[in-house]
Every structure is written in C-alpha cells, then in structure tokens.
Amino acid sequence: MDPRMLFDLDRRLDQFHQKSGWELSLPARIVLQQAFLSLETDHLGLPGYTQGENRQKILGQVLNSVDEFLMRLTHKASDAVKRQNLTSKEEKLIGAIYVMQNMKVLADLIQCECWPG
C-alpha cells in the first residue's frame, strides 16, 4: 500500500474531531484503519477486487468516502445520545462497536460488497 494513503486516512480521522466536535475512540480508529489495510492484503471476501487496479480503486473510494461516513455517523450518534440520555462525557465519543454497527453506511457510499456491512 502506498503509505500516503494510510497517512491520508489518519489525517482525515484526526480532522474529524476538529470538523465535528466528536471524537473517535482508539478502538474505533483501529477498526477503520484495519479494515482499510485489509482491502490491500485480504483475498477472501473480495471477489473480483483482488487485482491491483481494482484494489486501488476501492481504496480510493473508501478514502474519498470516509469524511461523509463520519459525518453521517455523527448525525446518527446525536440522535442516539438524545434517545439514551447519555452524560456529556459520553455523548461526543464514537466507539468501535458503533462504527462496526454502521459499516453498511460506508459500504453504501462506496457501492462495494467488499466492505463489511
């Protein structure tokens, strides 16, 4: 993988807090990073996407969709916070479980059955 792609993903995850006021927990960041890295290395579960050109295309699609995915997560999370009456410390933190529960949002954005959803 081109290290610049991983750097770009990390930069986007870092900027997410500045743009939204929400934080991603460390496990949430790791889930997103590992799923992204897996698109480069995995073969099972990626029918038709294991060729170099296709992998790069999907990596680019994920990278270009991460910001929109995170913003959609914040909207869903805001609604969940209101429903669950969470405390102020809890209400602006998106954890790994919430990210995994909403992976379909990113799968829909990139229009690829290769992404978990």
> Token match 């897996």: residue?
38
28 contacts 100 by C-beta, under 8 angstroms: no
Q: Is residue 27 part of a domain?
A: yes
Amino acid 11 reads R
Reported as a single tens digit per residue, the pLDDT across 79-114 is 888 888 776 655 788 999 999 999 999 989 988 777
Count of Cβ atoms closer than 10 Å to residue 88 Cβ? 7
Q: Per-residue pLDDT tens for 31-64?
A: 999 988 888 887 776 666 666 677 788 888 889 9
For tokens 């405390």, the residue is 87
Indicate whether 116 belongs to any domain.
Answer: no
Tokens of 26: 């460390």
Q: Is residue 40 a part of any domain in this protein?
A: yes
Q: Is residue 23 part of a domain?
A: yes
> What is the spatial distance between Cα 23 and Cα 59, in angstroms, rounded to a whole number?
23
Which domain covers residue 26, as residue numbers? 3-110
Is 117 inside a domain boundary? no
Domain for residue 35, yes or no?
yes
At 1-30, the pLDDT tens digits run: 678 888 999 999 999 989 998 999 999 999
Q: How far is CA 87 from the centre of its chain?
A: 25
Domain count, the chain: 1
Residue with tokens 């995170």: 70
Residue 87 in domain: yes
